[in-house]
């Protein structure tokens, strides 16, 4: 069990709740920010008890189908009160070293909010310019490599919505806890220092170049 980082003590850490149906099969997993359980803890509860425990504190909820495949990711209003209704595309890089996963946020395009589309279902529906933001990480270790938010969607909670969705997807698949090392852009450092994600990151060790021209010295993403 992880200890509660000092910066998260007042508002509560991020814990996980897996809701189980009467037959013991999981229906959903929520990443939650509250003081009900210690930071990093996972609990498994019957559906009604899980709903009560999570209440309105979900950062994101991952929903399963009957074969325990994650079919939807629904950011909570706590993490993304100013974002539009989001859906996600999952792009895998199996040939990368190490293999990586990209979770890309979109809105509209006649796709239901919360939907999670894989590479094959995403092809032809959207272009790179349609993305609102994306997060990339290594599923073998949980290390987050990049977080990006389009300039027009910054300061709306998008970065936290992306991280929350990535955490929900990763934990629902029993992958490692997500974390980030000390390399980031100056804009990323501003976001990190103002975010509940801070407890999952190392202190800044070296600065990466801006991902968007002109980012240096601009206001934080959220």
pLDDT of 122-144, one tens digit each?
Answer: 988 999 899 999 999 999 999 99
**Percentages helix, strand, coil for the chain, rounded to the nearest 5?**
20, 30, 45
Locate all alpha helices (DSSP H) within the chain, ordered by sequence: 47-54, 119-122, 158-172, 186-193
pTM given for the model: 0.82
Q: Is pLDDT at 114 greater than 90 in this prediction? A: yes
| Residue 11 included in any domain | yes
| Residue 195 included in any domain | yes
Top pLDDT among 209 and 27 is at 27
| Residue 216 included in any domain | no
| Residue 1 included in any domain | no
Taking all residues of the chain, what is their mean pLDDT, rounded to a whole number? 83
Provide the domain count of the chain. 1
Please give the share of the chain, as a percent, with pLDDT higher than 90: 62
- Give, in order, the Cα–Cα distances in Å from 152 to each of 40, 76, 106, 125, 221: 32, 21, 13, 21, 10
How high is the pLDDT of residue 9? 43
* Joined tokens for residue 54: 């999570």
Full residue range of the structural domain in which residue 80 is found: 6-207
Q: Is pLDDT at 80 greater than 80 in this prediction? A: no
Residue 4 has what DSSP assignment?
P
pLDDT of 157-214, one tens digit each?
Answer: 888 899 999 999 999 999 999 987 556 565 555 565 556 656 666 565 666 555 554 4
| Residue 220 included in any domain | no
How high is the pLDDT of residue 8? 45
| Residue 203 included in any domain | yes
Q: Is pLDDT at 5 greater than 50 in this prediction? A: no
| Residue 217 included in any domain | no
How high is the pLDDT of residue 156? 86
Q: Give dist(CA 102, CA 144) in Å, integer.
A: 10
| Residue 138 included in any domain | yes
């Amino acid at each position: 069990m992880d200890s509660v980082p000092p910066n998260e003590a007042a508002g509560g850490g991020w814990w996980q709740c897996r809701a189980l149906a009467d037959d013991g099969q999981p229906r959903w997993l929520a990443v939650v920010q509250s003081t009900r359980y210690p930071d990093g803890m996972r609990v498994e509860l019957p559906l009604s008890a899980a709903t009560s425990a999570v209440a309105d504190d979900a950062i994101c909820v991952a929903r399963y189908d009957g074969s325990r495949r994650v079919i939807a990711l629904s950011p909570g209003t706590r993490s993304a009160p100013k974002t539009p209704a989001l859906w996600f595309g999952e792009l895998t890089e199996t040939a990368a070293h190490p293999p990586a996963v990209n979770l890309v946020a979109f809105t509209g395009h006649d796709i239901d909010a919360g939907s999670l589309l894989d590479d094959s279902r995403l092809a032809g529906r959207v272009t790179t310019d349609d993305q609102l933001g994306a997060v990339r990480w290594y599923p073998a270790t949980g290390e987050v490599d990049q977080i990006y938010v389009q300039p027009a969607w910054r300061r709306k909670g998008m970065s936290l919505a992306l991280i929350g969705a990535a955490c929900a997807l990763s934990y629902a698949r029993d992958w490692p806890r997500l974390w980030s090392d000390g390399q980031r852009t100056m804009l990323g450092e501003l976001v990190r220092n103002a975010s509940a994600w801070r407890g999952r990151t190392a202190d800044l060790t070296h600065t990466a170049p801006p991902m968007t021209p002109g980012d240096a010295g601009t206001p934080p993403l959220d």
